[in-house]
Amino acid sequence: MKHNCISITFNHAIRLVALLAFFGLTSTASAVTLSEDFENIGGFLTDGAGISDFNVGAAHFTGGVSGIGRIPELYSSGKHAWMVKGGQTGVIQFGADVTEVSFHAKAFSQAEGSSVITAFDDTGNIIETITLNNTDPFQKVAISGAIDRIEFVNNDSDMNRMNSLDDFSVTSVPLPPALGLFGTALLAIAGFSKKATSAAK
């Protein structure tokens, strides 16, 4: 008799998890888009006031530097941009919920080497590659999919010849909160099932 009570309670728990799964999977999470023109990130690079490690929503910037380089052609808008010096690589690492990224990018007109932007997924596969030459104007880049990171490589030998990324936006879609409850419920049932099996013996 004791075994039957445990089975009924366990079946009710299974139904509860099924309901949580249904509501969690059918609820739609709202996409969140954050835009950044870098105007409030960093000061004059010549004064050492650039900022090289910062976040924009679910995007983490390293390797390059945000600020004012006193080179107007490197700004798509305003007087700031995120720039990568010659011979260096800037990296933008994304959270797991990022679905789309867009920005404007440009190589310095006096650059002797090209700049290459490469987007990777979380398995290291290349999603897209863009090459910037010194004769190109600002290019609008939009990348969709499961983006893990973007590497912005400046192949110039002179560190004073920078490439530029400006007017950046990142879109992420957080998981519905009910999915978190679903996972918690599964763990609870796993523990309950183990106790029920032990009690039945």
Query: Could you tell me the pTM of the whole model?
Result: 0.75
Domain ranges of the chain: 2-28+177-200, 32-172
Taking only the tens place, the pLDDT of each residue in 69-81 is 999 999 999 999 9
E runs forming strands in the chain: 32-36, 54-56, 59-62, 65-67, 81-84, 89-94, 98-107, 115-120, 126-132, 139-144, 149-154, 163-172
Six token digits for residue 88: 């260096």
Q: Does domain 32-172 have CATH number 3.40.1350.10?
A: no
91: which residues sit within 8 A by CB, 6+ positions away?
61, 62, 63, 149, 150, 151, 152
Burial state string for 29-49 with b = 16 or more CB within 10 A and e = fewer than 16 = eeeeeeebbbeebbeebeeee
Q: DSSP states of 9-53 as a string?
A: HHHHHHHHHHHHHHHHHHSPPPPEEEEE-STTS--BGGGT--B-S
Six token digits for residue 42: 């960093």
pLDDT (0 to 100) of residue 105? 98
Residue of 130 and 3 predicted with greater confidence: 130
Taking only the tens place, the pLDDT of each residue in 34-64 is 999 999 999 999 999 999 999 999 999 999 9
